[in-house]
Amino acid sequence: MTAIIGRDAPGQRSGGQGARVVPKSERPRRKLNLAGGIGHVFLAIWALMIIIPLLWVFLASFKNTTEIFSSPWTVPDHLRWENWGRAWTKAHVGTYVLNSVLVVTLATFGTMLLSSMAAYVLARYKFVGNRIIYFLFVAGIAFPPFLAVVPLFFQVKQLGLLNTYTGLIIVYIAYSLPFTIFFLTSFFRSLPNSVAEAATIDGASHTRLFFSVMLPMAKPGLISLTIFNLIGQWGQFLLPLVLMAGARDKWVLTQGIQEISTSAGYEADWAGLFAALTISILPMIVMYMIFQRQIQAGLTAGAVK
């Protein structure tokens, strides 16, 4: 509808100058987005379901056993940091944390290196079997780890890698490759060809093109997936339980927490258990808070290019 000049709009008093009728597109309209409102409600409920248990565990780590069972939803009388010290030394959480840091750091580095190279080749080069290899990796995403625990145990044992960091790291990498390759393949496909062509004209080899040009351009996606792999491997429980059961001094954090929870029922040291849980949770929360913007940028960068 166009503006009407020279006559009054309906319901308006006539005046010396013509009145302008506001187009419908300019009229404020209040739309009730029911789906969006329901979605926000569910997100708020989901956030509370996650935040409340975490907050409860954090508060319980400063209480004693009597307070935990008599007044579980109250604030502790005072901060009992000795619970954290007892969990770190007596329950050997410090050793488990160092073991987890070693395993997860090497496994994540290997995952990102191998995944980025494989995804780059699958995304930028055409060869026989390209799509077959890609879909085999995609199929690995839907393969639950517990289905392969028994054959995996015997395979690692035959290789002489049972109860070793090397065996656990290799298995972590193998189970992290499918999702990482799937994501990075789509990301490398979204990168502009003009930059790669210019580097090739300048005489860059395939290796230099990948490490010096394409890999830095994929930095947002690499950061996001690095954080996801760190969090996923940090909280892995089934694989280390099966592959590291006979090496107590090499246990990772999840195995240590499980041992503490089992012994807590006999020793009644629930405060130490919750302190150990808090110690295991805090590093991932802090890491996500620090790299939150990079994670969001990496998840959306491939879609907007």
The CATH number of whichever domain residue 168 belongs to comes to 1.10.3720.10
Q: What is the pLDDT of residue 172?
A: 95
Q: Is residue 76 part of a domain?
A: no
Q: What is the pLDDT of residue 131?
A: 92
C-alpha 98/C-alpha 104 separation (Å) is: 10
* 3 & 149 share domain: no
Q: Is the pLDDT of residue 295 over 80?
A: no
* 169 & 299 share domain: yes
* 231 & 205 share domain: yes
* 59 & 21 share domain: no
**Amino acid identity for residue 57 in this structure:** V
* 141 & 215 share domain: yes
Tokens 């499980």 locate to 258
- What is the chain's mean pLDDT, rounded? 83
Q: Of the ranges 80-94, 154-168, 198-212, which is most confident?
A: 154-168
Q: Is the pLDDT of residue 6 over 80?
A: no
Structural domain range at position 123? 82-304
* 129 & 18 share domain: no
Query: If we measure between CA atoms, which residue out of 227, 242, 102, 250 comes closest to residue 176?
Result: 227
* 65 & 179 share domain: no
* 7 & 155 share domain: no
Share of the chain above pLDDT 90, in %: 34
Q: What is the pLDDT of residue 262?
A: 73
Q: Is the pLDDT of residue 261 over 90?
A: no
* 21 & 115 share domain: no
- Whether 185 and 122 have beta carbons less than 8 Å apart is answered as yes
Tell me the helices (H) and strands (E) count for the chain, helix number first. Answer: 15, 0
* 5 & 88 share domain: no
Query: How many independent structural domains does the chain possess?
Result: 3
Binned at pLDDT 50, 70 and 90, residue 55 comes out as very high
Q: Is residue 112 part of a domain?
A: yes
